[in-house]
Amino acid sequence: MRVGRIPYINCYPVYGAIDRGIVPFAGRLVDGVPTALNALMARGELDVSVVSAVEYARDARRYLMLPDLAISCDGPVRSVLLFSKVPAEELDGRRVVVSRSSMTSVALVELLFENVWRAAPEFLPGDAEPRDLPALLQQPHDGRLVIGDAALLLGQRPTDGGAAPYPHVYDLGAEWKRWTGLPFVFAVWVAQRTARLADAMAVHGALTASRDWGLRHLDVLARQASEYTGVSNAACAEYLSGLDYGLTYEHLAGLTEFFRRLVRAGRVPNGTLAFLPAA
């Protein structure tokens, strides 16, 4: 089985035990940023993968969602941040650089601008890997949406190379919670409907077993994350412990509310949630 993995530290709790050989895994892991994995799944080049929540909504007939497995938050997420030189409400007509790595984060920030901040910025695409930060900082802009490890790094030093600081930083998880009162699901794991059921269920079993190990060893994973990113160990521990990797009724309420708003805005087709049988 070809199984997609996002190489951000937010996936450490799900893959940590697999990477260490603690949980047996018969698949082949393929790394990629969310939009790259979305494209591989859409082309049928992966059998199971974590994907942007929007990717599932975009083509739900292609996928089966894996039960009890997601990347979500119930309040601040800390790795999906809008940095702005002015209040978000004043970004109307101004340049906002958005990460090209995550469909869900871009869709969420668009909904927030339309419904909460009541502004219509000019969105410009920009990379958001840690290595891209120097170039990103030089791109003319009034605000920028940054996700993943790069957001954690920039959150530690929200300045333009020591020049103009960003006095306004918006955590999109917290903004969604304030707006709707619900958790937000950024990513889900899905299988192709054409995948062999027994194989997909075996992958699901391995992923959830690895997730359970990861949640019991967040201190180990936080140290690994700190070494990899340069973000402090304390910040990594706070970040990982603030995420949720399950998919409860409350998470599903947040996910379906997000999908409902995207359908109403004409951004995704109307559809239903369909799940792989639990392993």
Model confidence at 100, pLDDT cuts 50, 70, 90, reads confident
Q: How far is it, in rounded angstroms, from Cα 236 to Cα 223?
A: 8
Res. 196: pLDDT tops 90: yes
Model confidence at 126, pLDDT cuts 50, 70, 90, reads confident
Q: How far is it, in rounded angstroms, from Cα 219 to Cα 256?
A: 32
pLDDT confidence of residue 101: 81
What would be the CATH architecture of the domain defined by 2-72+184-264? 3-Layer(aba) Sandwich (3.40)
DSSP secondary structure code for residue 133 in this structure: H
Select the more confidently predicted residue: 129 or 76. Answer: 76
In CATH terms, are 2-72+184-264 and 80-180 the same topology?
yes
Select the more confidently predicted residue: 279 or 160. Answer: 279
What is the sign, positive or negative, of the torsion defined by CA atoms of 29, 31, 222, 239? negative
Show me where the domains of the chain are located: 2-72+184-264, 80-180
Q: Report strand pairing: 143-147 vs 95-99.
A: parallel
Q: What CA dihedral angle connects 237, 203, 248 and 19, to 10 degrees? A: 0
CATH class of 80-180: alpha beta
Residue (of 274, 208, 279) closest to 65 by Cα position: 274
Res. 163: pLDDT tops 60: no
Percent of residues in the chain assigned helix, strand, coil, to nearest 5: 45, 20, 30
Convert the pLDDT of each residue in 71-91 to its tens digit.
999 999 999 999 999 999 999
Res. 279: pLDDT tops 70: no
Average pLDDT for 181-194: 98
Q: What are phi and psi of 176, to 5 degrees?
A: -65, -45
Tell me the β-bridge partners of 187: 52, 71
> Which amino acid is residue 11, in one-letter code?
C
Res. 161: pLDDT tops 60: no
Average pLDDT for 192-210: 97
B/e letters for 242-258, b = 16+ CB within 10 Å, e = fewer, are ebbbebeeebbebbebb
pTM: 0.91
Tell me the β-bridge partners of 3: 29, 48
